[in-house]
Structure 1
Amino acid sequence: MKNVSLADVDHVDRAVLPIGTDYPPGQVLDWHRHRRAQFLYGATGVMVVDTAEGTWTVPPERAVLIPAATRHRVRMLGVSTRSLYIEPGAVPWWPGTCTVVEVPPLLRELLLVAVDFPLDYNLAGREGSIAELLLYEIAERAPLPFHVAIPASADLAGLCRAYLAAPDAGVTNAAWAARTAMSERAFTRRFRAETGDSPAVWRSRARLLAAVPLLRTASVSEVAVRLGYASPAAFTAAFTRVFGLPPSRFGENRQGHRSDLRNADVREKCAG
């Protein structure tokens, strides 16, 4: 199914509902929740998923697992999605918080096939087998570190969300502590208790997450300068240390990624 509203099909007696949706650049799906769990894969572009507990950045060729009934917001940056909406009872192993995962070739191909299923696809035939295999493949995925926690308290959460919107390498613990009328030591202790990280470590990861959407349209050197790194080499080293891959692998203009998208377009046109 393509470009249909979940609300119009949620009642259908299928544990897995595959839906493909194309979004205009920059669209924001404001705060909402689904009765079903969601496997949200960006066939193109970058997604940023917010919940009360954290922010998850989803690079190209990755997906995010969203638990059932989780209130969330999604910012779409040049995204065409392939989603699975899944009855919670069918996936008791689903993570309790949002989780970014890799989408290897087999899983990607299964998703591309599944979004062409009719609404009442045959559970006993090929389509039902593909739906089952999709769940097996998702269960095998390991979490990727593309997220930061958001503190529960409103004042700390406000600092963090403002920083995510405009990362600034010049921000210090002392400046943040002053804004909350606390000593630097007390602020750092409270921040670590609510997020699991020191403020400096949190800001460092947040800056690197901010690089992912920037890399769609800017070079590694340009992103390094924009985010306040001393050099492209310093930025590349920090990015690779945290995410396990160099930032050059996340550019929208990578030849391999363009080929994947062209092949997907050809398959979908042939299927249509």
Structure 2
Amino acid sequence: MLSHQERIDWHRHTGHQLIYPRRGVLRVFTAAGVWVVPPSQGAWMPAGTAHSHRAFGATEMRAILFDVDGEGPFPQRPTVLAFTPLLREAVTALTDDAAMAPDVRSRLARVVLDLLRSVEAPQRFLPALEDPRLREVVALLEEDPADRRTLAQLGAAVGASERTLSRLFREEAGMTFAQWRGQFRLHHALVLLASGQQVTRIAGACGYASPSAFIGAFRASFGTTPGEYLRREPDLRI
């Protein structure tokens, strides 16, 4: 069990790793960028991929290692996968029972890999940015996610024009600044939901103009309101 805000520092494995937060929320960091992973999802890290984790809410993290010489196919890049109820139970069984017979463990691991072939998840992903001016903008917003300054105002703070920053976001992030900021705010909102914050407070802390604006953005991305999402994801926070 990881405590709120506990971090597992950068590391890598010789095998492929499947990471699953049965309770709580994980932020998973790689060189490519950052994912937010709730209990309905898991993260796949190919062998040799450097990564780190940070927990939000009391987080029950499960992890399974797969031998690179084992039967695949294995996902070739870090990714987030939706977890069906059956996949949740299979991963839980593999990580709960240390005394499981090797042949049973092998067959159940095969089942997990088979189930992973057919699951997809919306990519709540913030790509890593290389340009130092973009990094400065990100640092300002990480320091204060409630900051509602425009791109032009943020550009003035970091010594870059709005036009330049707009072009760089499209080139490096593959999205506009408005799209990037929308993803960033939803990342932060999921973290705060896991921490037990109320919707009204989350709206202000994430820079939304009003609670209704936050609820609308959340519904547009997740297909449900924050309250309904918590009822559907009872293990998001404990």
Cα pair distance change 1:218/1:136, threshold 3 Å: same
Equivalence for 2:38: 59
* Greater relative contact order, per chain length (Cα 8 Å cut-off, separation 6+): 2
By how many angstroms is 1:148 displaced?
1.3
Unaligned residue ranges in structure 2 (runs of 5+): none
Q: Which whole-Å deviations, capped at 9, do the CAs of 1:156-204 have from their partners, x for residues lacking one?
A: 2343254235313412211332344332212211221011011222112
Q: Which has the larger radius of gyration?
A: 1
Match of 1:139 among 109, 117, 121: 117
Cα pair distance change 1:76/1:34, threshold 3 Å: same
Residue correspondence of structure 1 range 1-272 to structure 2 within 5 A: 22-77=1-56, 78-90=58-70, 91-96=72-77, 98-118=78-98, 121-123=101-103, 126-216=104-194, 217-251=196-230, 254=231, 257=234
Q: Any conservation in 2 of the 1:42–1:63 contact (CA below 8 Å)? A: yes
Q: Which whole-Å deviations, capped at 9, do the CAs of 1:194-250 have from their partners, x for residues lacking one?
A: 110112221121011100011120222221132232332221111121233322244
Q: Which whole-Å deviations, capped at 9, do the CAs of 1:127-163 have from their partners, x for residues lacking one?
A: 3221110110112111322111121234423432542
Q: Any conservation in 1 of the 2:203–2:211 contact (CA below 8 Å)? A: yes
Q: TM-score, length-normalised on structure 2?
A: 0.87
Cα pair distance change 1:197/1:94, threshold 3 Å: same
By how many angstroms is 1:42 displaced?
0.4
Q: Any conservation in 2 of the 1:212–1:250 contact (CA below 8 Å)? A: no
Q: Any conservation in 1 of the 2:145–2:205 contact (CA below 8 Å)? A: no
Cα pair distance change 1:168/1:116, threshold 3 Å: closer
Q: Which whole-Å deviations, capped at 9, do the CAs of 1:9-28 have from their partners, x for residues lacking one?
A: xxxxxxxxxxxxx2233211
Cα pair distance change 1:86/1:74, threshold 3 Å: same
Q: Any conservation in 2 of the 1:59–1:213 contact (CA below 8 Å)? A: no
Q: Which amino acid letter does the alignment assign opposite residue 177 of structure 1? A: G
The whole-number CA distance in structure 2 between the counterparts of 1:92 and 1:154 is 38
Aligned length: 235
The whole-number CA distance in structure 2 between the counterparts of 1:140 and 1:219 is 35
Q: Any conservation in 1 of the 2:208–2:214 contact (CA below 8 Å)? A: yes
SS at match of 2:234: helix
By how many angstroms is 1:110 displaced?
0.7
SS at match of 2:8: strand
Cα pair distance change 1:33/1:153, threshold 3 Å: farther
Q: Which amino acid letter does the alignment assign opposite residue 163 of structure 2? A: R
SS at match of 1:257: coil
SS at match of 2:28: strand
The whole-number CA distance in structure 1 between the counterparts of 2:25 and 2:65 is 20
The whole-number CA distance in structure 2 between the counterparts of 1:261 and 1:188 is 36
Q: Which amino acid letter does the alignment assign opposite residue 181 of structure 2? A: R
SS at match of 1:57: strand
Of 39-48 and 184-193, the range deviating more from structure 2: 184-193
By how many angstroms is 1:255 displaced?
7.9
The whole-number CA distance in structure 1 between the counterparts of 2:183 and 2:209 is 16
